[in-house]
Structure 1
C-alpha cells in the first residue's frame, strides 16, 4: 500500500500546483502583459499631425516635439475616474527593440478638465485629476498601412483599447 500513498501524495501535490498556477494567472488579462505590436518602421514625420477618436478627443503632435491635447482620457485604471484633460505638452517616438514603437505623450500644462459623459457619478473621495500626466500609445498600422495610436484602459481582464486615428485632413 506504500505505492498507493505515494501516488495520492503526488496527486495532491499536483492538485495544489494547479490551483496555485490558476490563482496566479487569474488576473492575467489579454493585455496585462502586452508587449507591443512589433512595429519598428514608423517615422517622426509620419506620426506628427492631428489625431482623434470617436469620443471627441483631439491631439496634435507637432514636428518640434510639442503637443496640444483636447479631452484626452486617462490610461489604464485612470480611465475609470472619468476625467478628460486638455492642455499642452511634449511627445516623442520611442522604440523598444522587442515590443516596437510607442508615442510617449506628456501633458505639462493643464488648461481644462472635463468629465466624460459616460463616466460614473464621481466618488467624493476620488483624487483630484492630475495637473500633469503621461500616456504611452502603442503604434500599429491600419489595413491601408497608415499609422494608428492606441493604449489600453480600464480593467486589464476586459482588454479595452482607446484608438486614435489620423484626423481628417492631416
Structure 2
C-alpha cells in the first residue's frame, strides 16, 4: 500500500476486510485515501482511521485455499472497487496501520509494516 500527499492511494494484492478476507482474494489498483473518525467495529475503540477507496482495479488474485479457510471454495468474482478502513495503533515500532479481518465478532488484527 502506498499513500501519497494529495490523497492518491495505491494497493498491491491487498486482501479484503472482515468476512471478505475469508474469501481469499486480493486486489491491486489505485484510488484515494483520507483520514476519518473510526466507527465501532472498524477500528479499536473508534480511533481515527485511514480510509482507502480503490476505484481503478488493475488486478485481482485468489489465495490458494488453506485448511483454516473452510469457507473459501471457489474463485471470487471480479471486483470493480473496494474501500478499506485502517486503524492506527501506537506500538514500540511507532505508529502502525492495521485492519481487521475475518469474523467481525472475533476479528484477526493485521498490522502493516513499512518497507
TM-score, reference length from structure 2? 0.79
Structure 2: tracts of 5 or more residues without a match: 40-44
| C-alpha distance in 2 between matches for 1:96 and 1:71 | 24
More strand by share: 2
Q: Is the 8 A contact 2:62 2:76 kept in 1?
A: no
2:63 to 116, 127, 133: 116
Going from structure 1 to structure 2, the CA distance change for 1:111 and 1:156 (only over 3 Å counts) comes to: same
Q: Which residue of 2 aligns with 1:66?
A: 8
> Number of residue pairs matched?
106
**Which stretches of structure 1, 4 residues or longer, exceed 6 Å deviation after superposition?**
none
Instruction: Give the Cα–Cα distance (whole angstroms) in 1 for the partners of residues 78 and 85 of structure 2.
Output: 18
TM-score (norm 1): 0.56
Residue 155 of structure 1 aligns to a residue whose secondary structure is coil
Is contact 1:139-1:147 (8 Å) kept? yes
CA distance 1:85–1:127, shift in 2 (3 Å): closer
More helix by share: 1
Alignment of 1:148-167 (within 5 A): 148-167=96-115
Structure 1 unaligned regions, length at least 5: 1-58
Once the 2 structures are TM-superposed, how far is the Cα of residue 164 of structure 1 from its aligned partner?
0.8
